[in-house]
Structure 1
Amino acid sequence: MKEYVTGEYQSYEEFLHQFKLEAPANFNFAYDVVDRIAAETPDRVALVWCNEEGESKIISFAEMKEYSDRVACFLKRVGIKKGDKVMLILKRRYEFWYTLLGLHKVGATAVPATHLLTAQDIIYRNQAAEVKMIIAVADPQVLAHVEEAAPASPSLQWKVMVNGEESRPGWLNFTREVAASEPVFPRTAAEEVTPEDISLLYFTSGTTGHPKMVAHNFQYPLGHVVTAKYWQRVKEGGLHLTVAETGWAKAVWGKIYGQWMAGSAVFVYDFDRFNAQNLLRMLEKYKVTTFCAPPTVYRYLIKEDLGSYDLSALEYCVVAGEPLNPEVYHQFYKMTGLELREGYGQTELTVAIATFPWLKPKPGSMGKPAPGYEVELIDDEGHLCEVGEVGQITIRTDRHKPLGFFAGYYRDPEKTQAVWHDGRYYTGDTAWRDEDGYYWFVGRVDDVIKSSGYRIGPFEVESALMEHPAVLECAVTGIPDPDRGQVVKATVVLAPGYTPSDQLAKELQEHVKRVTAPYKYPRVIEFRSELPKTISGKIRRVQIREEHQNR
C-alpha cells in the first residue's frame, strides 16, 4: 500500500505542505486494499481478536478476503444491492470486519450502531435511513429490541443473528448462511462505486435533539491514512489497539482502514464492562505496539500500578474523544515515559487537528491542523480570531475539501446547510490558538460560559478540578445569575474515600482559584454519584443545565 502511505517527512511544515493523496473515482477499500494485500501477502495478519472468556482468533488477509467474499455472496443472494442500508449491531465481534468489507463489495451502505440502543432508537434509525437488513450479535437484549422495533420498521426485510443459537424465529443464522455461500465474489459481480455513493452512515450521539445521519462516501477510508500513519503512528508489522465499540465512528478511525493501509495489524479486545487491569494484561500479553483511547480510559489506567505490567512493546500512545486533562498526561508520562498525543475530529471528519510526531506535546492542547484541513477560528461576529481569542473551529472547503470529509447529513439539506455554508464547515466546537499555532479546546458553542464579560470554557475549569485528588469526574456548566449573567457551576463525582460536604466544596473552590484565573472558579458545586451521559459516553451538559433550571 505504498501509494497510500506517501513517506516520511522531516518536519511538520514539510508534512503539512507536501502530503498528497490521490483518490481513484471508483476506489473501494475492500477490493483495492484488502483483496490486493491478500493476493500479495496472503498470510499477513489482519486481525488479532480475543474476549473476556479467553477465546481468541487470528485472521489473515487471505481469510479476510474469503470471509468477506462469502458475506457479499450471501448479501447478493437475499437481495441486498448497491445503496441498500444494512445496520450492524455487532459490539466487538470479529464478524464486524468481514461483514463491513462484504457490504463494501456489493456497494451497500453500512449503518454501524451500538448495542446500547433501545427499541425506540432502532425504530428511529430504521425509519430515517430505510434500513433493509439488521445484522446483530446474539445478545438477548439486542435481539429483543430489534424484534420490538421490527413492526414499526416497514423497510426492514431481513434480521440476521451472529454467534447465537442454531435458529430463532424470524432470524437468519449468519454463520450458516455465510458458510453456505460461494468463497469468491469477483469485482465484476457488483456495480462499481462512485464518489457520490454512500459507504457508511453514522448516527451522531445526539447530545441535543435527534441524532443526525452523517454520510461518508467510498473514498472516506483514504482520509484515515493520516489518522493511522501520521497521528497514531502505527508501524508496519505492528499491532494497534483503539478502544472503541464498532457502533461508533472511532472504530473505523482506529480499527481497520488506515491501520491496514499503513501495514499494521489490528488488535481487538472484546469486553462488555471496562476493567483497567484486564486491559493492561491484554496490552502485555499480545505486545500491542500502538494504542489509542479516550481520556477516561487513561484516567483509570494511571490509578493502577503500571510498573507491574510489561508494557515494553508499547511505543506510541494517542488520545481523543474529549479533551485531555494535563494532570492525566503528566501522570501517564511519569509512569510509562510515553507522551500522550492528542487529536481532534468529529464523526463528520477524519483527524483534523493533532499533535503530530514532529510537534512537541503541550499537555491539554490538540496540536496543529492536519494536511488538507484549512482550520480557522471565527468569532461571534464572523471575524477571524487573533492569537489567544476564542472562536468556533471552522474548516474551509471553498479552496479544497479534505479527503475523508463527510458528504453531508443524509436526507437533511437544512441541517447540512446550517453547519456547512459559504465554503466553510462550522464544527460547533470552540478553541483558541496560541502564538506557536497550537489549538486549545474550550467547549461546545453552547457550553461556553459568559460571566461578567468573561468567556469561560468549561474544559479549563474541569482540568483544574481534576488535579484535586477528591475529584473522579466533573462537568462544568453555566447557570443564570441576575448580576453576572451566568456563573460557573461544577457538578462533581467524588473519588472513593471522599464524602460530600460544604467544607470540601469550599476546598475545591479555593483549589481552582490557585490553579487558574480566580474569576473562573465554580461559585456553585453540586456533588453527584454519576454524570448524565449519551450512549457514546459523552457528558450531557445540556441535561445538567436543564435539570438545574427545572429545579
Structure 2
Amino acid sequence: MTMQPTGHLDPFTRDRLPPREQWPDFRFDLAGLDYPARLNCGAELLDGAVAKGWGERMAVHCGDRSLSYAALLAAANRIANYLVTVLGVVPGNRVLLHGPNGIDLMAAWYAVMKVGAVAVTTMPMLRAGELAKVIAKGEVGFALCDQALAEPVREAAQAEPVLASITGWGPGSAFETALAAMPTHFENVDTARDDVALLAFTSGTTGQPKACAHFHSSVLAMADTFARHTLAPAPDEIYTGTPPFAFTFGLGAFVVFPARFGLAVALPERPGFEALCETIERFRATTLFTAPMGYRALMASWSDHDLSSLRKGISAGEHLPKATSDAFFACSGIRLIDGIGATELIHIFISESGGDIHPGATGRAVPGYQARVIDEAGRDVPDGEVGRLAVRGPTGCLYLDDARQAGYVSNGWNVTGDLYRRDTDGRFWYFSRADDLIVASGYNIAAPEVEQALLTHEAVAECAVIGAPDDERGTIVKAFVVLKPGCDVAAVTEQALQAHVKAEIAPYKYPRAIVFVDALPKTQTGKLQRYKLR
C-alpha cells in the first residue's frame, strides 16, 4: 500500500502512524474497493447521495426534526464554512465532537470530513478527566459540542490547553446564529484516500486510551464490505438503534451506511430502551442495531409497543448467546445477525445473514476480509481447536504513536484479542476474550480504570475488578473491595461506592456488583491473582 500525497496541511496524524513494518496487510481485492487516489469520504457519502438523485429522500429523523439528504448537505456545508472561515480549521487539524446522537452531531461529523480535518468523536457520558486524555493524545485544538455538555469539555481544556477553541451548538447559541449567515455551498478539500479521517479511541485493558487512526478509504470500506454484502440494504429501510456515533459500530450504522445506500435513519431523542421503542413505533423503523442486552430489553417491552415494522436486527459489541438469539426469534420472528468487529478495524468483519445464520456462531469472514485461528506462534490451529483470532482486509489497526501496535499486528494480520474456534464449514465460534478487557452491554470497560476510580474513595484500601457472568446482561463489572482499617463497614455501602465511581468516570463503567473482602488473593511477589476472583 503506497501512501498518496497528503491533502493535510497539518501533518500530525500521518507523522504519528506506526512504522510501516508494523502495519497490517491492507487488501482491496474485492470488487468495489478500488478507491481512487484522491478521496474525501464525506464528499463521497453526502454530496454523492445528492448527486445520485437522492436529495429529496429522507436522511435522518430525530424527535420533531427531519432532514432530507439535500437539507443535511446544506447543514454540513454551513458548518464546514464556519470551521474554515471563523475558526480557521485547516486540513489535518483534529476536531473533537462531543454530544448525543442527533442531527447536529451528524452534520458536524460530515463537515469535519469535508474540510479535510480529523474527527475525534467522544461519548457524551465522558467526564473531564477522560476527555483530557483524548485531547492530549490527539493534540486536539478545536471542539464542537452540545452546549448542554460543554462544561466537562471546558474543564478538560483547563488541563490540556492545546484545546483552544470550544464551540457549542444548540437552540439560541451564538453558533446557531452564525450558521444562518454561512453559505450552503462548500468546496470540499482534496484529501488522499489514505489521509486519516478519524481517530476512534479505545481504552484496552490499561485505561490508557489508544487512538485508532482510520483512513478515508476505511470509512467507505465498512459500507462496501459488511453493509453491502451482509446487510444488503434496501432503499425503503429505516435504521435505528443505540450505539453512539463515538463507537464505530454506531458511526457505520447511522451515518455511513444510510448515506452510502440512500436510506433513512431514525435516532432516539434520549437514552434508554423506552425511547428506542418509541422511535421504532413512531418512524416505523425496519433495521435495528444494538448489543445483545438491547435485544433482551426489547423482548420485555414487545407487548407494550407496536414493533411490527422491524425486519432486521444486527447484534455486536459482545458475543450474542444462542439463548438470546433463539428467544428473540421466538418473540419477533426475526433471526438476529450477529457480528464481531473492533475499533481497530472500524466495523464488523465476521458475520452471516439470511439462511446462513447458525445461532451461537458469529459467522464467516465478511466478503473483503480473511480470518484465521492461530496459536501463540502465529500458526493455524486445526478446525475445532481454540486459538487467537487473526483478521486482515481493507481496514486494519493503526494506533497513533503507541507501542501497543506491535502487540496487535503480527505478520500483517490483526490479532484481535478474542479466542475463537473455526468449524469445518468455515464458521467462527466465540470462546472468550484473551485479556482482562470487560465487555459489558456492548461497552468496552478497562478493569484498571474502574479500580482507580474506586481507590479515590477515602474508605477503600485495595480493590480488584473483573467481568462476571450475568443472566440478564451477559457480563457485568464486579468489584472486590478491601476497606481501610477502622472504617465503619455499615457506613460504606455498595450504593455509596457505586455513586462514587459514577461521579469519577463514565457511569456505564460502574461496578454493578461489589463484594467486601478482608484481603485480595496475591502471589508471593504481591501480584494480584484475578483468576481466583473469577
Q: TM-score, normalised by structure 2?
A: 0.76
Show the counterpart of 2:412: 423
CA distance in 2, matches of 1:34, 1:536: 34
> In structure 2, what residue type is equivalent to 1:131?
V
**Where does 1:270-309 land on structure 2 (aligned, <5 Å)?**
270-272=269-271, 274-275=272-273, 277-304=274-301, 306-309=302-305
Show the counterpart of 1:248: 247
> In structure 1, what residue type is equivalent to 2:270?
F
| Structure 2 residue 142 is matched with structure 1 residue 151 | no
**Over residues 15-48 of structure 1, what are the superposed CA-to-partner deviations in whole Å (9 max), with x where a residue is unaligned?**
x997542211212222223113224232111111
Show the counterpart of 1:66: 74
CA distance in 1, matches of 2:282, 2:229: 26
Relative to structure 1, is the Cα distance of residues 429 and 135 closer, same or farther in structure 2, using a 3 angstrom cutoff?
same
CA RMSD of aligned residues (A): 3.2
CA distance in 1, matches of 2:210, 2:217: 21
Gaps of 5+ in 2: 1-27, 441-446, 448-465, 474-493, 523-527
Relative to structure 1, is the Cα distance of residues 426 and 32 closer, same or farther in structure 2, using a 3 angstrom cutoff?
same
**Where does 1:11-90 land on structure 2 (aligned, <5 Å)?**
19-39=31-51, 40-50=53-63, 56-77=64-85, 78-90=87-99
> In structure 1, what residue type is equivalent to 2:414?
Y
Show the counterpart of 1:409: 399
Judge conservation of contact 1:90–1:247 (CA < 8 Å) in 2.
Answer: no
Judge conservation of contact 2:385–2:422 (CA < 8 Å) in 1.
Answer: yes
> In structure 1, what residue type is equivalent to 2:312?
Y
> In structure 2, what residue type is equivalent to 1:147?
R
CA distance in 2, matches of 1:421, 1:494: 36
Show the counterpart of 1:399: none
CA distance in 2, matches of 1:382, 1:348: 19
Residue identity over aligned pairs, in percent, reads 26
Helix, strand or coil: the match of 1:443?
strand
**Over residues 416-465 of structure 1, what are the superposed CA-to-partner deviations in whole Å (9 max), with x where a residue is unaligned?**
222113222211111111222211111211259xxxxxxxxx99xx9xxx
CA distance in 1, matches of 2:394, 2:470: 40
Show the counterpart of 1:237: 236
Question: Deviation at 1:495?
Answer: 7.1
CA distance in 2, matches of 1:64, 1:229: 23
CA distance in 2, matches of 1:490, 1:93: 31
Show the counterpart of 2:227: 228
Higher RCO by CA contacts (8 Å cutoff, separation 6 or greater): 2
Show the counterpart of 2:3: none
Relative to structure 1, is the Cα distance of residues 375 and 165 closer, same or farther in structure 2, using a 3 angstrom cutoff?
same
Show the counterpart of 1:7: none
Relative to structure 1, is the Cα distance of residues 26 and 538 closer, same or farther in structure 2, using a 3 angstrom cutoff?
farther
Question: Deviation at 1:64?
Answer: 1.2
Judge conservation of contact 2:116–2:191 (CA < 8 Å) in 1.
Answer: yes
Show the counterpart of 2:335: 339
Question: Deviation at 1:229?
Answer: 3.1
Q: TM-score, normalised by structure 1?
A: 0.73
CA distance in 1, matches of 2:214, 2:281: 35
**Where does 1:38-437 land on structure 2 (aligned, <5 Å)?**
38-39=50-51, 40-50=53-63, 56-77=64-85, 78-139=87-148, 142-163=149-170, 166=173, 173-187=174-188, 190=189, 192-225=190-223, 226-272=225-271, 274-275=272-273, 277-304=274-301, 306-349=302-345, 350-359=347-356, 361-396=357-392, 402-406=393-397, 408-412=398-402, 414-437=403-426
**Where does 1:482-497 land on structure 2 (aligned, <5 Å)?**
491=468
How many residues are paired up? 441
Relative to structure 1, is the Cα distance of residues 377 and 240 closer, same or farther in structure 2, using a 3 angstrom cutoff?
same
> In structure 2, what residue type is equivalent to 1:238?
E
Judge conservation of contact 1:205–1:536 (CA < 8 Å) in 2.
Answer: no
Judge conservation of contact 1:222–1:403 (CA < 8 Å) in 2.
Answer: no
> In structure 2, what residue type is equivalent to 1:355?
E
CA distance in 2, matches of 1:419, 1:411: 14
CA distance in 2, matches of 1:385, 1:536: 40
Show the counterpart of 1:508: none
Question: Deviation at 1:105?
Answer: 1.0
